Amino acid sequence: MLASAALIASILKSQIPSNESNLDSVAIEKAATFIGLDSDASSATTASQTTVVDAGIRLQSQLQHLVQKLLTDKTDKISRLLHVNHVLDYVSYALSDMVFVYPGTSGTYLGEELLPLDQSIKNVNGKSVRVVRMDTRDGALQAVQGALEHSDIQATVLASSQALYSMLPMIHLFANQKAPVVFHVAGQGVNSELVSQSEMDAVLAARQSGAVLLASGSVQEAHDLAIAAYIISKQLQVPVIHYFDGTLVKNYQKVKVSSFATLATQVETKETSASAILARQGYSSFTYYGDKQAETVLVALSTYVTPSLLEAANTSLGIGLLAVRAYRPWQEDEFLKSISPSVRRIVVLEQGDGLYAYNGPLYLDVTSALRVSQSPRPRVVTAQAPNFNHLHPDNVKHLAQRATSVSFVDLLGDDFVIEKMKPAYQEHGSVFRAALWDLDQDGTSSAGAHIAQLVHSQDPEQAGASQVICDSLRVGGGVSYTQIVCNSNDLNVGFVNYIGIHNADIIKEYDVLANAAKNVKVLLHGPWQHGDDIEAVLPNTFKLVMTQVDAELYTLDVARILQELSLNAQSAHVIDEIAFFLLNSPNVDPADVLANVYHDTNGEVKNVLADLTRAVKANLTSVALLPPWTILERDDAVLPTTVIDRPDLIKAISQGSECAGSQDEQQIKASSWHEAAWQVMFKEAYSTDSLLRPDLHEKNYLVTLTENRRLTPSTYDRNVFHLEFDTSSSNLKYELGDALGVHGHNDTEDVKKFIKWYGLNENDVVSVPVGPLVGARTVFQLFAQVLDLFGRPTKKFYEGLAEVATDDKERQQLEFLISPEGKESFKERVDDTITYEDLLHEFPSARPSLEQLMSLVSPIKPRHYSIASSQKMHGSSVHLLVVAVDWANRAGKMRFGQCTRYLANLAIGSQVTVSIKPSVMKLPPLDTQPVIMAGLGTGMAPFRAFIQERYMAKQAGKEIGPVVLYFGSRNRSNEYLYGEELEAYFQDGVLSHMGLAFSRDQKQKVYIQHKMKDDAALLSDYLINKNGHFYLCGPTWPVPDVKDAVVHGLTNFGGIQEKDANALIEEWKEKERYILEVY
């Protein structure tokens, strides 16, 4: 069932084998004596790695507690096969006095291995380190602030980007107080399909905090820049946010780890600038790759730089890549020096959903820097995707070509995601690659971890890498794909020499022979001994490819071995480890090798391993390929070559609860209302509680609508409306400039109509696991409040419909739409805003079950709106300014913005679920400092709150400084939003000056930048002489023109050169005196 697939799973553990086709005994013995590393590969858990062999004997892996091993190893420049959490835990402990751990929601988290450490382990200064586990909540970091106030310590915060939002106010405070705090932040989240992905929004939200922002793109960089972060924090007395792609945790890379002695030397420096400190570590704020005379340069944060981007830059004429390592402070001069005069186009890579063109923070920084560059200025293009891992070198070349004619590129477009651009693998005789495929239920996943560490540790200087990808949400239980490469750092180099398939069912779901080398050795779990026995089990494509690559097929009846030796099923991975060495290192005794990996707690380990080795030798069977397999035709189905990276949400939410592999899995199920009623009536028996949307991660509040008032005339084509919500019963608190996240519902009538058509009972109760809890909601609530039924469907939905379609023509049409040949038709559907509901009507034979729909349809996401009120004036109320979004598609069918439609139709008294999102839009610290606001349309919302705040200060008898408002819209008669209020504030003197720009009220277009230029002298005086603050809120298009207007005032009335004026504005941005809130 979907529930067990979606919420009860576990991330597997692992990695894999060898460096040559055969491993010699000397190398293995060298590895065995070297060993002492962790193996809990994918989860990096600190839980006991005990394997039950029989009732009296347990094997406990020495490949455990890796960070503790690193902290106690005195070897200089220790070379290890590590992932990013290992190195950051190590450096953090070594260079800190206190470490605050904020677990994330993606399973494995930074600091996980530090929590159980023995307190006798000291840091580089010989002092004890206190490691504290914290909860992410409002007011996060107050404990850190308290620790800093009472002692002179080096504090470290280990967190995910998901936790960073709640920390932003305190980070601002730390910067103001010059507190030397180092943050290591894993930029990671999950998308609407629960796939793990890089997520940097929260990190970029801290760009105006005053903290230094450093980005790492690899495990070695994470190690080196972590050290630099502590030096910068100490020398400059500032907080440093060192961030990285959180999905790096699945990649194990060879890392040179500095010993304590080296660390102690590295942190002692007299350098006083971030650039100099980075240079001392061998890095710079910007790193350029590729053609020095390139006409097209890609600019990206280091965390976004993938091997394919590097390959494209280093192998393509005319293309360069500039990686931004130190994003704050923004070194404009260094950036401009990195851009050759030959550059004609700059493509800024930024994270986004690819649906709408908007300019992110890096784009704004780049365009701002180019304002003072030499002529001709390069044209700047935005290219967006949630991540850039899908891009291949050919995609990058295509992007450079597209950039010559467009200003925005959607990197999720079909011309960037089609598999035809995937480069072919190249033969590399010296490279050894291995792959292991495992299901959670079989107990085999950790075999790869042991093998990988053994093989790589034999030569610390040898290139090598490993990767573990786990789909913990697979229907039927979790699956992992582990690969290892030796003599190369590139996991995509060379063909696969050894493939371990530890469950035959995997062959039906995945193309396990993709990139198989000639004479590849394939191990398959099962009782088969002859080709005739196994023929019916194997798909035709698998058998055909086996003959084409002349594979060596072996079978191993693991279940029989476990039964004959009376072993626990969780011992299966030991059998696979023995089989690997027997097949790839025939001159090595596996029992001797593995005896150095497991603790011999009772003197019986070697005997047990010897018995196992004899049993594996006796059962390992070579199966001859049958001649008829050479003429088989391939199956129609195209199988994936790897698994989807979906984390164990149960572990993340319950923070370590032992749910993996449970036989009593909770399932999504529909039942009648009385089952839910029992749970309400007998709360103690059922441990029932009423929670507000426990499926949502952020803190939520229930507020009540008290006013819904249209501000534009009913005859006008744009419905801009004002909302007021009562917050008295929810205890909702908000700060000036915050945004209100609204959890909108689908239209009631549309939902009822769909449920009736689909043959469901809207009153049936659906039980859904939510972390360690089980939530109950009706079918109507499910489709009205949770599933984005009227949103844009993903390709996964088309695939899901194709799988269940009973009509051949409909199935073929669905498969065509998601094929390369159907990309134009698919694009037309996207442009025409086809919805999930539309597809279900169009293909009536495709009827997914309710459980399947819950897996296939994306959840409704909250929409965020700037709050248009001050809580000082409206203590128990929150106000919003919203414009309704609607349009007609090509067929003339009306489409609506999901949340604005919900809000526009809300009746007085309706209760709405909301959350708070912090913002950098804050008033100056002194009431006397001038406030200059520029807003377009609904960008007026936060400025209404600003004006109310200043009005309340004046009413309290305080002296207030000038308040200037520039407001722009189409015309005064229709869109002078809050016009009467503004005029009243102007008459009262709270608003000292207004510049109103109604673009269509006269023949020539008049915009806010024109009004600002008219007031150039006033703006110059307020900004330069009176320490004023400037704010812009609204769409991105006027950003450059508004900046030009400010520069005009500074140069003509402030006596400042244009270049210096631009530099001054950048300085104001850093100090939060020039704030842009654009979309």
Reported as a single tens digit per residue, the pLDDT across 168-200 is: 999 999 999 999 999 999 988 877 677 778 888
Select the more confidently predicted residue: 1067 or 697.
Answer: 1067
Beta strand 1074-1078 pairing with 1029-1034: parallel
What predicted TM-score, i.e. pTM, was given to this entire model? Answer: 0.60
pLDDT over 90 at 1048, yes or no? yes
Distance from C-alpha of 190 to C-alpha of 144, rounded to nearest angstrom: 28
Element (DSSP H or E) covering residue 79: strand 78-82
Task: Give the CA distances from residue 481 to residues 8, 301, 387, 689, in Å, rounded to whole numbers and listed in that order.
Answer: 19, 29, 21, 39
Please check whether residue 163 is in contact with residue 107, taking contact to mean a CB–CB distance below 8 angstroms. Answer: no
**pLDDT attached to residue 270:** 82
What's the pLDDT at 50?
Answer: 35
The mean pLDDT of 965-989, rounded to a whole number, is: 93
The per-residue pLDDT for 648 is 66
> What residue ranges of the chain are covered by domains with CATH 3.40.50.80?
931-1078
CATH class of the domain whose range is 66-280:
alpha beta
* Cα–Cα distance measured from residue 791 to residue 783, given in angstroms and rounded to the nearest whole number: 12
Would you place residue 744 in the very low, low, confident or very high pLDDT band (cuts 50, 70, 90)? very high
Cα separation, 1048 vs 506, in Å, equals 66
pLDDT tens for each residue of 270-291 = 888 889 999 988 999 999 999 9
Identify which of 563, 527, 795 has the alpha carbon closest to the alpha carbon of residue 54.
Answer: 563
Question: Any residues with CB less than 8 A from the CB of 626 and at least 6 apart, and which?
Answer: 531, 532, 535, 543
pLDDT of 418 reads: 55
Give the N- to C-terminal CA distance of the chain in Å, as an integer.
Answer: 40
What pLDDT score does 538 carry?
92
| Arithmetic mean of pLDDT, 441-448 | 76
Residue 806 C-beta-side C-alpha neighbours within 13 Å: 4
Cα torsion angle, 699, 705, 710, 714, sign:
positive
| 2-32+430-631 maps to CATH 2.30.30.760 | no
Cα–Cα distance measured from residue 695 to residue 472, given in angstroms and rounded to the nearest whole number: 18
Task: Please report which confidence band the pLDDT of residue 814 belongs to, taking 50, 70 and 90 as the band edges.
Answer: very high
CATH topology of domain 307-387+390-421: Rossmann fold (3.40.50)
Q: How far apart are CA 265 and CA 77, in angstroms?
A: 13
Mean pLDDT of 292-314: 91
Fill in the DSSP letter of residue 231: H
Which of the residue ranges 45-49, 334-338, 1035-1039 would you say has the lowest mean pLDDT? Answer: 45-49
Q: Which of 8, 4, 1 is nearest to 772 (CA)?
A: 8
Number of H helices and number of E strands within the chain?
Answer: 42, 42
pLDDT of residue 963: 96
Q: What percent of the chain has pLDDT over 90?
A: 43
What values do phi and psi take at 246, rounded to 5? -65, -20
User: Residue 153: is its pLDDT beyond 80?
Assistant: yes
The Cα 927–Cα 580 span in angstroms is 72
903/880 Cα distance (integer angstroms)? 10
Please, where are the H alpha helices in 323-360? 332-338
Q: pLDDT at position 809, please?
A: 93
In this predicted structure, the answer to whether residue 704 has a pLDDT above a threshold of 80 is yes
Strands (DSSP E) found in 821-873:
863-866
Pairing between strand 479-486 and 464-471?
Answer: antiparallel
What is the reported pLDDT for 710?
94
**pLDDT confidence of residue 9:** 28
The CATH class given to the 931-1078 domain equals alpha beta
Query: For 431-440, 595-604, 624-633, 936-945, which range has the lowest pLDDT when averaged over its residues?
Result: 595-604
Question: Which ranges in the chain are annotated with CATH 3.40.50.920?
Answer: 307-387+390-421
Asked whether the predicted pLDDT for residue 55 surpasses 50, the reply is: no
The pLDDT of residue 371 = 81
Q: pLDDT averaged over the chain?
A: 82
* Contacts (Cβ under 8 Å, ≥6 apart) of 227: 91, 95, 258, 263, 266, 267, 281
CA distance 844 to 233: 61
Q: Indicate whether 581 pLDDT > 90.
A: no
| Token pair 């390959």 in the structure block, residue | 311
pLDDT number for residue 107: 63
Contacts of 238 (CB under 8 A, 6+ apart): 175, 178, 180, 210, 211, 212, 232
Domain boundaries for CATH 3.40.50.970 within the chain: 66-280
Please report the pLDDT score of residue 477 as a whole number.
Answer: 77
Strand intervals (E) in 326-410: 326-328, 345-351, 379-385, 408-410
Is 374 in contact with 325 (CB distance < 8 Å)?
no
**Per-residue confidence at 119, pLDDT binned at 50, 70, 90?**
confident
Average pLDDT over residues 955-970: 94
pLDDT of 363 above 80: yes
Confidence check: pLDDT of 114 > 80? yes
Q: Say if residue 1025's pLDDT is above 80.
A: yes
